Amino acid sequence: MTSFIRPDVKNFVAWDYVVFAALFLISSGIGVFFAIKDRKKTTSGDFLVGGRQMTCGPVALSLTASFMSAVTVLGTPAEVYRHGSAFILFSIAYTFVIIFTSELFLPVFYRSGITSTYEYLELRFNKPVRIAATLIYIVQTILYTGVVVYAPALALNQVTGFNLWGSVFATGIVCTFYCTLGGLKAVVWTDAFQLVVMLIGFLTVLIQGTLENGGLTNIWETADNGSRLNVFDFDFDPLRRHTFWTIAVGGTFTWLGIYGVNQSTIQRCIACKTEVQAKLALYLNLLGLWIILVCAVLCGLVMYSHFRSCDPWTANFISAPDQLMPYFVMIIFSRAPGLPGLFVACAFSGTLSTVAASINALATVTSEDLVKYFFPHLSERVNTWISKGLCIVFGVVCTSMAVAASLMGGVVQASLSIHGMCGGPMLGLFTLGIVFPCTNWKGAFGGLLTGITLAFWVGIGAFVYPAPSSKSLPLHLSTAGCITNNSETVTAMMPTLPPVRPHLADTWYSLSYLYYSAVGCIGCVMAGLLISFVTGPSKGKDIKPTLIRPVCNIFFFWSQKCKTFWWCGVDQEDSKALHEGLNNDRLKDLSEKANATNELKNGLNKVVQSHLPGYNPYEKSYTNTSVEKESQF
């Protein structure tokens, strides 16, 4: 076996800075462009949801970029490198998530005519439920954004020697700048540009890494010999970190909490011109998710082939697994000025898109669910300025939260754990409202508290008492070929567990992090239904048919009695008619526009008649026969 001497990783050169700076300049320029272009549009609706005139293309690109962040660019290849390519099974979870989102949740949100998803909770339940859910979402998003800001700053620090926190604040400033200036349109179009940068960065690393490691065939054989291609592990043990079931089932719950009811996703979808455009954006986004996932997994396998005899992490060449990818990039591109800058731009593209989406969503829910709740009589102009001010506030808060992210371990597990602990109960709450008409506000509130309690119990317990090594230890990582510059063989440092562990530490607290969302969601739904039945199910006459979408018609198609029971008195035919068409608000808008058009036509016709009696300006002919006869004489 050949020895692997630790290379001297070089810092950025001039071309790297040029490529990296171009990303920030173009992103900021898009914000300035839309600020100038839409300067005459002063309503909060134009700023927060783009006037609801977006098309599916840019929205699909924006969705992909927002949720395939630096966590994916840095964390996923490191996960594959250490734990194997079972991560590719997330493609199954993504598929289920998009189907459920587009066919179950989106139609209800889109037809309700809402701006914030939490408006739905007041329409379906009451204001306290809406406020509670809004506050939980704000906390969740700030925590998650902190992780996303910290990850690329860590990469930049690793490859350039830049001050870590200087990088964090630079990211926050740029995101806040174009969010505040351009609103949702700037966020969406900047996301589209940044997704292109992410793909170019991934492909560049893949091509160069493959060439330096003997081609795809050699990489594949090396990965197979290292057990990195053992994808299908059907072990039902819920304590195992990654198996087919934890990823396919637990991953679906986790990402459904991120996609199905998340303000950042729904806000883009309801900004589309039509519901069909919104659904098409989601399905096109699924294709983008698959492409990014495949690129990230392949990068992990290429890295393993390169470091198979000398793992930089256990050899202490780097201080954290999430530094593997930038460390690898600086080695393979050591003689290619500009390409390291392209990769770091790739990582920062993911961050800028995600942070911008989070800031915009936070400003929206705060404006719609809190500001307008306490100050309902503010003008549109004032609401717009408040929304812009909130973008600045949340930009500062999210950037500051990155300090806490430095204590949370690997970025992938940290980010998905946060989403699971908060997103799972939120998913359960919206499921109660949309799928179960019998749920009352007491059941919704009690279910939310139950789900949050269970999810945080297991999540915090796992943070304090990490899972046993038998459940979470990485696959074999060799340091046999590592030699330092002083010709000293490096020995791997393996983590040790606390000596005293309670019984729950090896059972409940060792549950796979991908099941946190399922625990919160199922706990919320079960507690919510139980409380609703104990306190008296909701009466169907109090529920608007547009606010529910029961799936009981699928499971009880053979029994009208069962369907009637689960509908809890809601008029099924009325609901069907509304779901197949437009909601009452949109019909009212169309009717008002039609009336305005008719009034304009009538006014024009009166003016014409005063000068040319009997002349029809639309048919360009005389309708009065006496006038025609007089004209003949």
pLDDT, tens digit, for every residue of 439-469? 899 999 999 999 999 998 988 888 788 776 6
Residue 427's pLDDT band (boundaries 50, 70, 90)? very high
Residue 483: helix, strand or coil by DSSP?
A: strand
* pLDDT recorded at residue 628: 44
* pLDDT recorded at residue 383: 79
Strand partners, 4: 482
CA distances in angstroms from 453 to 8, 424, 425, 459, listed in the order given = 48, 11, 9, 10
* pLDDT at position 585 over 80: no
Q: 9-23, 298-312, 426-440: which range is least confident on average?
A: 9-23
Beta strands 615-616 and 482-483, pairing class = unpaired
* pLDDT recorded at residue 95: 94
* pLDDT recorded at residue 1: 42
* pLDDT at position 559 over 90: no
Q: What is the mean pLDDT of the chain?
A: 76
Residue 91's pLDDT band (boundaries 50, 70, 90)? very high
Residue 361's pLDDT band (boundaries 50, 70, 90)? confident
* pLDDT recorded at residue 519: 93
Name which residue leads in pLDDT, 520 or 422. 520
* pLDDT at position 618 over 80: no
Q: What is the mean pLDDT of residues 76-94?
A: 90
Contact by Cβ (8 Å): 330, 157: no
Contact by Cβ (8 Å): 484, 5: yes
* pLDDT at position 632 over 50: no
Per cent of the chain over pLDDT 90 is 15
Residue 241's pLDDT band (boundaries 50, 70, 90)? confident
Strand partners, 621: 616
Name which residue leads in pLDDT, 194 or 603. 194
* pLDDT at position 300 over 70: yes
* pLDDT recorded at residue 369: 79
DSSP 8-state assignment for residue 615: E
Residue from 90, 146, 75 nearest 410 by CA: 75
* pLDDT recorded at residue 3: 46
Name which residue leads in pLDDT, 395 or 611. 395
Q: What is the mean pLDDT of residues 48-73?
A: 74
Query: Tokens at residue 115, please?
Result: 């701006």
Domains and CATH numbers, the chain: 48-436 (1.20.1730.10), 584-632 (no CATH)
Name which residue leads in pLDDT, 91 or 603. 91
DSSP 8-state assignment for residue 488: P
CA distance 294 to 300: 10
Residue 500's pLDDT band (boundaries 50, 70, 90)? low
State which of 171-180, 353-362, 451-460, 569-578 shows the largest mean pLDDT.
451-460
> Could you identify the residue written with the tokens 């689960």?
566
Nearest-10 crossing angle of helices 411-435, 251-259: 70
* pLDDT recorded at residue 158: 64
The amino acid at residue 338 is G
Contact by Cβ (8 Å): 548, 434: yes
CA distance 112 to 108: 6
Cα dihedral sign for 9, 11, 12, 14?
A: negative
* pLDDT at position 82 over 90: no
* pLDDT recorded at residue 605: 61
* pLDDT at position 145 over 90: no
Residue 489's pLDDT band (boundaries 50, 70, 90)? very low
Q: 119-128, 244-253, 298-307, 602-611: which range is least confident on average?
A: 602-611
Name which residue leads in pLDDT, 242 or 186. 242
* pLDDT recorded at residue 380: 73
In this structure, what are the phi and psi dihedrals at residue 27, rounded to the nearest 5 degrees? -60, -45
Residue from 478, 329, 331, 320 nearest 3 by CA: 478
Per cent of the chain over pLDDT 70 is 72
Q: 225-229, 338-342, 388-392: which range is least confident on average?
A: 338-342
Which residues touch 85 (CB under 8 Å, ≥6 apart)? 223, 228, 229, 231, 297, 300, 301
Q: 140-149, 210-219, 475-484: which range is least confident on average?
A: 475-484
Q: What is the mean pLDDT of residues 114-125?
A: 87
* pLDDT recorded at residue 321: 78
